[in-house]
């Protein structure tokens, strides 16, 4: 597992297990086989088919689920968009605006 706390100034590609407690303002793309635990802040988060994501932090530019396994517990601005064959699980305590 990769753990990071800093700022990623370009699109962060996640292909393995990655726990982010920092910032990725340019966004995150989780590819097949990748797993993201987001506790920090990110721009757009895109999850491909065969990937997983747990959003505990803040997403400022929307979550785009293209068929992955996604759970949202934190805050998402600009909505959660299910564009694949799966539905994102949104915790009752999550904030989606």
Give the DSSP H/E element, type plus range, for residue 9: none
Global pTM reads: 0.96
Confirm if 52 and 36 have CB atoms less than 8 A apart. yes
Provide the residue-wise pLDDT of the chain in tens; the chain has 97 residues: 888 899 999 999 999 999 999 999 999 999 999 999 999 999 999 999 999 999 999 999 999 999 999 999 999 999 999 999 999 999 999 999 9
Domain assignments of the chain as residue spans, ordered by start: 2-77
Counting other chains too, the contacts that 63-69 makes at CB distance below 8 Å and 24 or more residues apart are 63/88, 68/30
């Amino acid at each position: 597992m990769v753990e990071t706390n800093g700022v990623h100034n370009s699109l962060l590609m996640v292909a393995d297990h990655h726990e982010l407690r920092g910032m990725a303002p340019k966004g995150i793309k989780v590819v097949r086989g990748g797993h993201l635990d987001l506790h920090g802040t990110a721009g757009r988060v895109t999850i491909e088919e065969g990937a997983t994501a747990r959003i505990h932090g803040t997403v400022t530019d929307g979550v785009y689920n293209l068929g992955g396994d996604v759970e949202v517990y934190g805050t998402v601005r600009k909505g959660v968009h299910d564009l694949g064959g799966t539905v994102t699980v949104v915790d009752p305590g999550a904030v989606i605006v």
